[in-house]
């Protein structure tokens, strides 16, 4: 999670919402991602999707069993769908997302028994650090909008 948090800090420095993701497959980091929606004008530029794409490309397979995705913020519906499609085994996230979280907050898509694949979810890892980074980022945005 520390590596994902560092990627989130890099995203914040670039003006992106500070979310970072690391995908570990069989004990090896195979994918890294930081939010890049603003930089590349891409609504799919979420940290999780970037990490999943990198791992799939590196391993030359879309199936990523025996993998763990570490992400600083609870995945959204889009990212949860990608996680399920990639057959990721476990998701570990730092901060809950009360507005868009699809792993626990608003939805529990990753653990839904109606779906053909379920993902183990572990939450709250380095939660204070992940939450503080997000809160500081959005506070600075609000302050910048108020300055004349």
Residue numbers annotated as active site = 48
CB 69 within 8 A of CB 49: no
Q: In what order do the strands lie in the sheet with 28-34?
A: 28-34, 20-25, 67-73, 90-95, 120-123
CB 77 within 8 A of CB 37: no
Residue 74: what are its φ and ψ, rounded to 5°? -50, 130
């Amino acid at each position: 999670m520390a590596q994902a948090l560092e990627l989130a800090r890099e995203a914040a420095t670039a003006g992106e919402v500070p979310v970072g993701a690391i995908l570990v497959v069989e004990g090896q980091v195979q994918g890294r991602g930081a939010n890049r929606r603003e930089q590349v004008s891409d609504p799919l530029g979420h940290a999780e999707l970037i990490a999943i794409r990198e791992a799939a490309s590196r391993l030359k397979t879309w199936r990523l069993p025996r993998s763990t995705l570490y992400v600083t913020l609870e995945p959204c519906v889009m990212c949860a769908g990608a996680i399920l499609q990639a057959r990721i085994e476990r998701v570990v996230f730092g901060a809950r997302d009360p507005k868009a979280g699809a792993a626990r907050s608003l939805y529990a898509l990753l653990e839904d028994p109606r779906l053909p694949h379920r993902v183990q979810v572990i939450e709250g890892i380095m939660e204070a650090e992940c939450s503080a980074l997000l809160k500081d980022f959005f506070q600075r945005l609000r302050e910048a909008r108020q300055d004349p």
